[in-house]
Chains A and B, each alone.
Chain A
Amino acid sequence: MKHLLLLALAALLAVAPASAAELTVEAPPDNDGLNLDLSWEEANDPAGWGVLRTETGSDDWTLLKVLTGDARSLSDKVTTDVWEHPPAESYDYQLVALRTVPDLADVEDEAAAVLAAGSVAATATGKPKAAKLRTGMKSKNYGPLLMLLIIIAVGVMMQKFAADVRSGKEVFIRRIPGIDAIEEGIGRATEMGKPILYVPGIDELQDIQTIASMLILGQVSQKVAEYQSDIIVSCCIPIVREVSDEVVRAGYYQAGYPDAYNPRNTRFISSEQFAFCAGTNGIIYREQPATNIYLGRFFAESLILAETGFVNKSIQIAGTAEATQLPFFIAACDYTLIGEELFAVSAYLSRDPRLVSSLKASDWVKLFVVICLLVGTLLTTFGFPIINTLFSISGG
């Protein structure tokens, strides 16, 4: 009798579904709105898991994946061709705990085969963000809206300050020694008969720091041309070299010395970080520039470059918004432009009213941000996190 009971219990366990798993389906915050992340917990380890999906209201189940081992999550992209198969409003999922992992070779209906090889441990429904967005912005997320307002405010203020400057109103810009030193450095190089080395960072062209560096390079090359000196531009990214070439050429052209430009001085070294670093160090050792200007985005090579320049006794001016590299530049360079100063160089050097106006606009927004920080800190301390909610840009 006891054996019979045990046998019945074993048979029951073999066909009974695994204990109910808790399946959660969430739309991750940072993607194109087409993904749903599935995760689940399960006490009894089955032989594997089968994950099935269908559009809500349909019985046409599709097998997404058969998982074995310790897998407890899956990221599902609901469609790979949004034009042919736009995302549905919501999707139903079935998590199948497999008694045995089925052989799906030559199986026509994979979903049915997986269901036959196990039992449904959990079901859940998920809505991809794309579907939500298709029906309009429903979330109360004011962060992006606030950001849009700030951008519009910067644009409007730029126009206003530019009009003020054009009408003769004096605009105060605080002195930035690092930027003043650029012209001094160019003068020093001219007196010594040595070139100026310009390094626009090692990041891609689309990085805002590289873009800012290209804008500064235009002003610097114009000054270099006026002083009848030489500038060597050392580039890590080929497309940055192409843009640098054009920018330096324009600088010489605007200074009135288009023939003085030597395109061989705008060099692509290597797209590998340390190979580029070695090549640029070689330029510093062999061509002994009197002034080294490092403006852009830098990583571990920053200190190697700056220390080599220090050994070479060059005047060194650096600028980056990369907080981790600023201490290295501050320790090894004569002047360092910190964060926002990098973005102010172009306007500071040119004194163009329209460019100067953008500095003033940034300053006013900065004041607004500081006030928000102070008010937000106070309100949050007293239990009213309204500013946090307003500025939140995640989720939605």
Chain B
Amino acid sequence: MRSTVPLVLTFLVGLFMVGEYFIPHWGYHVITQLLLEWGLILAAAAFLLGLFNLIQVNLPKVLNREEDWGYKLVMLISLAGTLVVGFWGNTGRLNPGEAYKWLFDFVFVPLNATMFALLAFYIASAAFRAFRARNLEATVLLVAAIIVMIARVPLGESLPLVGEKLPQFMNWIMDVPNIAARRAIFIGAALGAVSTGLRVILGIERSHLGAD
């Protein structure tokens, strides 16, 4: 019973939602939108559970002075501080000069940008490893990458002899072999998604339903 009801619900709702694609009637759309809104409400309610999970995982480590408890403490203080400041600011919390807005602009945004900026260094180190010409495939990758990189910078166009042709060749690499490979991935992934969706809707796949 514990898994039968979710299976039946999944089948009915899944079939109904798929049906929207084939029955583009406004009345049908209204009901699917309503179901999606219910989903959003459920997802929003899960944020509260996420908050409890954060506290449940991190607070005991701070109380028991487990390894690296200092990081957890900083996280919990930040969480509590942001919550209090957010509630305190109420609907005007995003107005200039408000504490919540200050936290967002001068703490959250710079930290976010810092993490994103790390990507540049990681790309360099990953590219260094990926572009080593160990075999034929890696060599093709290396040559294609060098052409694309050089053609994308102003220096590439000013190179003697090949300068004019380089951007054209780069465009060909991006538009023909690159797009062909991407489309193959998209088609395969789309078919995989259809069969995964069918497996879930038809109840063949059940591991997501949890323990009996």
Question: Which residues of A line the B interface, CB within 8 A?
Answer: 32-34, 82-83, 87, 129-130, 133-134, 144-145, 147-148, 150-151, 154-155, 158, 204-206, 208-209, 211-212, 214-215, 217-219, 237-239, 241-243, 246-247, 249-254, 258, 264, 266-268, 271-272, 274-275, 277-278, 282, 286, 300, 303-304, 306-307, 310, 321, 323, 326-328, 330-332, 338-344, 346, 354-355, 358-359, 361-362, 365-366, 369, 396
Closest to A251 in B: B207
Of the candidates B43, B123, B130, B188, the one having the most CB atoms from chain A within 10 angstroms of its own CB is B188
B50 within 8 A of A: yes
The answer to whether B210 and A144 have CB atoms under 8 Å apart is: no
The tally of CB-CB contacts under 8 A between chains A and B is 215
Among B48, B68, B112, B127, which residue has its beta carbon within 8 angstroms of that of A274? Answer: B112
Asked whether, in the complex, the Cβ of A242 is within 8 Å of the Cβ of B49, the reply is: yes
Least Cβ–Cβ distance between A316 and chain B, in angstroms: 12
B195 touches A359 (CB 8 A): yes
Complex CA–CA separation, A354 to B202 (angstroms) = 11
Query: Is B90 in the interface zone, CB < 8 Å from A?
Result: no
Residue of A nearest to B209 (CB): A250
**Residues of B with C-beta under 8 A to A396:** 24
Q: Is B25 part of the binding interface, using a Cβ–Cβ cutoff of 8 Å?
A: yes
Q: Does B155 contact A (CB under 8 A)?
A: no
Instruction: Write the residues of chain B forming the contact surface with A, with a CB cutoff of 8 angstroms.
Output: 18, 21-22, 24-27, 29-30, 33, 39, 42-43, 46-50, 53-54, 56-57, 67-68, 71, 108, 111-112, 115-116, 118-119, 122-123, 125-127, 129-130, 182, 185-189, 191-200, 202, 204-205, 207-212
Q: Which residues of B contact A247 (CB under 8 A)?
A: 207-208, 210
Contact, CB under 8 Å: B185 / A338: yes
What are 25 A-B pairs at a CB distance below 8 A? A87-B26, A130-B26, A154-B198, A155-B202, A208-B197, A214-B208, A241-B49, A242-B46, A246-B211, A249-B211, A258-B211, A267-B57, A268-B49, A275-B111, A277-B115, A278-B111, A282-B71, A303-B122, A303-B126, A307-B122, A323-B185, A331-B130, A342-B189, A354-B199, A362-B195
Q: A133-B24, A208-B196, A358-B198 are in contact. Are A264 and B185 (CB under 8 A)?
A: no
Q: Complex Cα distance A343/B39, Å?
A: 23
Contacts of B207 in A (CB 8 A): 214-215, 217-219, 247, 250-251, 346
Q: Which residues of A contact B71 (CB under 8 A)?
A: 282, 286
Q: Bound state CA distance, A340 and B57, in angstroms? A: 35
Residues in A neighbouring B27, C-beta threshold 8 A: 82
| B204 near A271: Cβ-Cβ < 8 Å | no
Chain A neighbourhood of B194, CB < 8 A: 150-151, 154, 362, 365
**Smallest Cβ distance from A250 to chain B, in angstroms?**
4
Q: What 4 additional pairs, Cβ within 8 angstroms, besides A83-B30, A251-B207, A343-B192?
A: A32-B29, A264-B57, A323-B186, A355-B199
Pair A321/B26 contact, Cβ less than 8 Å: no
A258 to B115, CA, bound (A): 38
- With A249-B210, A278-B115 known to touch, is A303 a contact of B123 (CB < 8 Å)? yes
Interface pair A147/B21, CB less than 8 Å apart: yes
| Distance, CA A241 to CA B49, complexed state (A) | 9
Q: Are A321 and B54 in contact (CB under 8 A)?
A: no
Distance to closest chain A CB from B68 (angstroms): 5
Q: Which of B22, B126, B192 meets A344, CB within 8 Å?
A: B192
Determine whether the beta carbon of A130 is less than 8 Å from that of B195: no
**Could you say which residues of chain B place their CB within 8 Å of the CB of A34?**
26
B19 CB to nearest chain A CB (Å): 10
B50 proximity list for chain A (CB < 8 A): 238, 241, 268, 271
- Closest beta carbon of chain A to B38's beta carbon, Å: 12
In the assembled complex, which residues on chain B have CB atoms less than 8 Å from the CB atom of A366?
Answer: 187-188, 191
The answer to whether B191 touches A369, judged by C-beta atoms less than 8 angstroms apart, is: yes
Known pairs A211-B196, A239-B46, A267-B53; A250 contacts B210 (CB<8 A): yes
Chain B minimum-CB-distance residue to A81: B30
B43 touches A239 (CB 8 A): yes
A339→B190 CA distance, assembly (Å): 9
Contact of A339 among B29, B57, B118, B189 (CB under 8 A): B189
Closest chain-B Cβ to A151's Cβ sits at a distance in Å of: 6
Residue pair B46, A238 in contact (C-beta under 8 Å): yes
Residues of A within 8 A of B47 (CB): 238, 271
Known contacts: A303-B126, A369-B191. The answer to whether A275 contacts B112 by CB under 8 A is yes
In this complex, which of A82, A134, A268, A341 has the most chain B Cβ atoms within 10 angstroms of its Cβ? A268
Minimum CB distance partner of A350 in chain B: B207
CB distance from A328 to the nearest CB of B (A): 7
Contact A286 B53 (CB under 8 A): no
Task: List the A side residues contacting B48 at CB < 8 Å.
Answer: 238
Contact of B195 with A354 in the complex, beta carbons under 8 Å: no
The contact of A326 among B115, B123, B185, B196, by CB within 8 Å, is B185
| A239-B46, A242-B46, A321-B189 given; A129·B116 CB < 8 A | no
Residues of the B chain whose Cβ atoms lie less than 8 Å from the Cβ of A33: 24-26, 29
